Structure 1
Amino acid sequence: MGGPPVRGAGLPPAIVAVRHGESTANALFAVAEAAGALEVPIDCRDADIPLTALGRRQADALGRRLAALPGALRPQAVWCSPYVRARQTAEHALAGFGAGLPVRYDERLRDRELGVLEMLTAAAIEVRHPEEAARRRRLGPLYYRPPGGESWADVALRVRSLLADLAGHDGPTGRADRADGADRADRADRADGADRAGRADGADRADHAGPDGAGTGDGRPGDGRPVLLVCHDNVVLMLRHVLEGLDEAALLAVHAAGPVGNASVSAWRREAGRMQPVCFNETGHLAGLPR
């Protein structure tokens, strides 16, 4: 898997991707992994895990970093994972950088699903699912899919789908928007201050509803504005895989260099018909934050 990078035609002039700030699960797993523990005291769904106090400070610092981006990179629309830790990161970051920016919550930006391995430490997987641990080592992370979960390649497929929508193609989200109705599309148009309510394609592109069904603003795909993606570590990694056309060996080398950090910034700019990398996994803005 790999192949040529995604063509930049139709994509936003810049894509900035950030991982959420430190979550309670991140903190608990760090302690458990260091101790070789089998149990992690988490009793909620992965989607409901919130930020820690440090994670909120990281998100505030992230907002300041985004505000300092040059104009060509500074996001003017936001697409966000619906998971609580990502939503909280977006809220904190936007308070210091882009209050009032349109936000669209999209399931394709959710964290990688781990199925039967969810909430298990590496030690616990070896003890409780030794056959899966062996299969993962044999197949490698790009192609290994835990029972009930996703491989990296599965995440890459939803990243490709999201990028198609960002390029203005008629993907699954566009169809859902139309099914939701033109009434909210017209409201989104009016809120944006543009006279698009009477256009034939207004319902196709203007409605961007959050999980609660309420319109979240005018984050239309393909409208020439830099976009911020608030997401998770594997999604950021798969964005690099897809946008830059990294093959398996190159992708694994990036992964081996270190994890995508909490509240890190990665960015790509459209140049000569391609999305060219600007930075990856940048965390300098987090230096000196108190724990």
Structure 2
Amino acid sequence: MHRSGIRMPTSSLEWAGTRIPRNGRLDGDIAYVKHGVGCAVYLPDGEVDFDFGRRGEINGFDAWRLLRFARERLSTYGFESEDTLDGYFKTAVSEGHLVCPDYTLYYFANLPRQLAIDIDCRLPEDNLPARNLDIVLVLHSHYFYAADLMLENYDNLHRKWEKNNSLSHRKIIDMQLYMSSWLGFLAVTCEGFENLRMHLLLLNSRPADFNKLIPKSDALGKLIKRHRNPLREFRNKTFHLREDPEAIRRFFDPHANRLLWARELHDAFADFFNSYRVKCECHYANNGR
């Protein structure tokens, strides 16, 4: 479905509101019928009818759907009759092997829920991960974006302070918190970037066109090393209970100019992530994703 240009939903409600033709054809000339919070897909081997779960799960089912799927092949699946299948289903529910958290769909109790947005829809030769499974994009959206937001908030208050030559006591505290959070999330971004071994990741685990990002990646690596340890110590003292303020004081040593370095580092990360995301979007478009 995703390869056919149908966006996967994050919830059953989102799917219900998805504006696609009720009847249509998927990639490979596979017919489908959209209904309510689900869809019926007519594969060469038979019909598959499913509903999306409340959070967009795709591995939920019920007895009616199992019967409908297996009706013509009950013996193939080891059932003598529809009543036999229904009996096994009820037993599995009563013994706790199947659970029904949303009052409609059942799931295997000890297996993870499979979300539609996590489905790997790539062709075999496509080595760019799905958007929400791409660890580089995770590093950007969960950590660098937080650093960027904190820096923006800090700069807004700092400009106000420069303009008015004063801030309220509360705003001064806010400005300090924004700065600490910015540097803390920037440190986490650095750590993630290094742990990913970005040079090798771009070289071996991404499409060939992403190799053009390697010079930016290498430059970032060198920039990180200039003050990696003081920034890491600052992060630890920011996000964990601090008994000794010495690490904070060391980071702000006026002779080290680490704030200027942090801004240079932040801008370099912004440039790298922007370039990476552009290449991702181009790749998605060129590969029907």
Would you call these one fold, judging by a TM-score over 0.5?
A: no
Q: TM-score range by the shorter chain?
A: under 0.3
The answer to which structure, 1 or 2, has the higher relative contact order (CA under 8 A, 6+ apart) is: 1
Larger Rg: 2
TM-score by length of 2: 0.26
TM-score by length of 1: 0.26
